[in-house]
Amino acid sequence: MSQQSLLDEIPSLDMADFTSGDPGKKEKFVEDLGAAFTNIGFVAIKNHGLSEDLRLKLYDAVQKFFYQEDSLKTKYEFPELSGQRGYVGKGKETAKGFSKPDLKEFYHVGQPNPREGMAGNVFPAEVPDFETYTLETYRTFENTGRKLLNAIALFLDLPEDYFEDKIYQGDSILRALHYFPIENPDALPEGAVRAAAHGDINLITLLMGASAEGLEVLRADGKWIAVTALPDQIIINVGDMLDRLTNHRLKSTIHRVVNPPREKMKTSRFSIPFFMHPRAEMDLTCLDSCVASDNPKIYVDMTAGEFLDERLRELGLRK
């Protein structure tokens, strides 16, 4: 049985150890981060740069938007953008391998200063703070994600700046999620859940504490364990792109958001993950150092853009 199956909670690390300037602490952080991503694919991080004040202001702005009437929210829905900017309504995203759409709606914010050819952001005029706090959070998490990828590069015996040019003005997304109340639980289609079991598409995901419990991670032994960030932590997990690049050495672990107990069905749950994506042209071909005779290559070669396109079609967001 792998070490992953023995963990009842995900490991906790301190980002300050990586940035302190102490070589010993930095090396230990790199080793521990790599071990966590090798074993379970998830880790909790403190001293991540997101202040509690910003988190609270962000959630307040996000809730104000989602509590608007659906007719207003759909003003900011643009199907031609394949859900990559603006609002995506209820019943629009279905996890790979599932037939029932997830019970959620969400809003996507991308690069604050998009490069040529990249879609620009759209923001709800009715909630001015939405733009202010989503963009501030985006910049904060993009900086944190860059440092984490530096640590990952060192763990993989790559130059510390290996990912720098690949993520510069990359396709990262801040997703504001609303798992809406279930007013009539008895009318729910069988198997419909807030977020069906899935792996994330991107390199790494940064997730601040949600407004309610529900996130679960699948261990190697098939047991689901609940994951909750402490007030001073964010949760980081490996995405499918990093899994592909490392030939499954770093694990993109399956996770889900379960429905609440019946007595809480009529309440909302909010969550705001940051999906760290590289530029579309990044080559995801498995690193030579992660392929061996006893660990043969398991993924076909493709770019990040090709993989994203494939997954968006599987999710029903791109036709």
Residue 307: CATH number of its domain: 2.60.120.330
The CA–CA distances, whole Å, from 200 to 30, 183, 249 equal 22, 29, 16
Across the range 46-65, mean pLDDT stands at 96
Q: Is the pTM of this model over 0.85?
A: yes
**Distance between CA atoms of residues 185 and 216, nearest Å:** 21
Overall average pLDDT of the 112-123 stretch: 91
Rounded Cα–Cα distance for residues 257 and 271 (Å): 10
Return the amino acid letter for 204.
I
CA-based nearest residue to 185, from 193, 176, 197, 174 = 193
Contact 183, 170 (CB under 8 A): no
* Model confidence at 2: pLDDT above 60: no
Tell me the per-residue pLDDT of 76-117, one tens digit each, with 9 for 90 and over. 999 888 888 999 999 888 888 788 889 999 999 999 989 888
Look at the chain and report how many structural domains it folds into: 1
| pLDDT for res 93 | 85
Q: From residue 47, how far is each of 7, 27, 276 by CA, in Å?
A: 23, 17, 18
Report the percentage of the chain scoring pLDDT > 90: 70
The arithmetic mean of pLDDT across residues 284-310, rounded, is: 94
| Section 159-187 average pLDDT | 94
Q: What is the mean pLDDT of the chain?
A: 91
Q: How confident is the model at residue 319 (pLDDT cuts 50, 70, 90)?
A: low
Q: Which parts of 207-315 fold into alpha helices (H)?
A: 240-245, 304-315
More confident residue, 211 or 36: 36
Whole domain around residue 248: which residue ranges? 3-315
